[in-house]
Amino acid sequence: MSVTVRVPAKVNVQLAVGAARADGFHDLANVFLAVGLYDEITVTPADELRVTCDGPDADQVPLDRTNLAARAAVALAERYGRSPGVHLHIAKDIPVAGGMAGGSADGAGALVACDALWQTGAPREELLEICAELGSDVPFSLVGGAALGIGRGEQLTPLEVGGTFHWVFAMAGRGLSTPAVFREFDRLGEGTDIPEPVASQELLAALAKGDPDALAAAVSNDLQPAALSLFPELAGTLAAGRAAGALTALVSGSGPTTAFLVRDPESAAAVAQALLASGTCRTVRTASGPAPGATIAGR
């Protein structure tokens, strides 16, 4: 018996960041959109906890108990007094350390898969609570679609989306550490008054309408200057995508993946090709959103 769960990547269409809190985290107004790039997590009973991974970035994924999928299995097992004896296999398609919540997706996926395998009957609220303990992005990986995250980004309100948005993602030659990007945000903001993060009404209206031009005009990412400061070459990737006709270009979350909103799948193919030809990124992917959250894909 095994269970396979499919979990999407995300792009942050708005990431408003407040000042550092006493616990080191930052209050956010984080508007998540799940996009159709997926990791698949398969859980099978085993004598002891084991993690394996395949996919283009598999060599960058830790296979010990620090892996978010392993941490999710252990957290659920502890709550239900079970042994976490499972083999977790991650078929990884989401770029690692790219700002697209790949590790978070694996955490949410492993949680849903173990929950189904062990038939715990845990209420969804409890699964979401475990997700929030695992990381700020993990609850959104579970729910998918589109949502506004406040607090650390873990307190979610689902958002209405009136259409499909088409994206191109450019993957960089190296990763960026999320804590390092937040630290750089703090350093750049030293001595300035950092406003409370609030969701943009124009952006929420654009999502609800499914209007790509309005969304392009409203997207924002307060971590972008910090990501560019640590990884200046990303400015060249953003410029190449804009020149190729993207409606807008931004850093995805803490980066270094860059995201390009386009009007339709044909423009996505054209922008993807131009980005590759520009030599400013390692590889490109196209995907659209919203995509569903963690979903059982097979048993």
Ligand X SMILES: Nc1ncnc2c1ncn2[C@@H]1O[C@H](COP(=O)(O)OP(=O)(O)OP(=O)(O)O)[C@@H](O)[C@H]1O
Q: Could you give the residue numbers annotated as active site?
A: 10, 137
113 binds, among ligand CDM, ligand X, none (CB under 5 to 8 A by kind): none
User: Are 166 and 286 contacting, i.e. CB atoms less than 8 angstroms apart?
Assistant: yes
Nearer to ligand X, 108 or 274 (CB): 108
To ligand X, the closest distance from the beta carbon of 212 in angstroms equals 23
CA proximity to 105, closest of 177, 37, 52: 37
Q: Hey, which residues between 36 and 95 contact ligand X (CB under 6 A)?
A: 61-62, 66-69, 90
179 part of the interface to ligand CDM, by CB under 6 A: yes
Take residue 93 and report the two structure tokens written for it: 């398609």
Nearer to ligand CDM, 178 or 224 (CB): 178
To ligand CDM, the closest distance from the beta carbon of 130 in angstroms equals 13
Longest C-alpha distance within the chain, in Å?
57
Cis status of the peptide bond prior to 292, with omega within 30 of 0: no
SS3 of 240, please? helix
137 part of the interface to ligand CDM, by CB under 6 A: yes
104 part of the interface to ligand CDM, by CB under 6 A: yes
Q: Between the CA of residue 234 and those of 16, 193, 256, 296, what are the distances in Å?
A: 20, 27, 7, 36
To ligand X, the closest distance from the beta carbon of 272 in angstroms equals 20
**Is 96 known to sit in a ligand binding site?**
yes
Q: How far apart are CA 209 and CA 119, in angstroms?
A: 39
**Is 100 known to sit in a ligand binding site?**
yes
Q: Hey, which residues between 226 and 265 contact ligand CDM (CB under 6 A)?
A: 253-254
Residue from the set 55, 84, 102, 197 that interacts with ligand X by CB under 6 A: 102
SS3 of 256, please? coil
Residue from the set 221, 254, 267, 280 that interacts with ligand X by CB under 6 A: 254
Please give the helix or strand (H or E) that residue 195 lies within, else none. Answer: none
Residues 83-100 as b or e (16 or more Cβ within 10 Å = b)? ebebbbbbbbbbbbbbbb
Nearer to ligand X, 137 or 184 (CB): 137
Which residues here bind ligand CDM, judged by CB under 6 A? Answer: 12, 15, 24-26, 28, 30, 99, 101, 104, 135-137, 152-153, 178-179, 182, 253-254
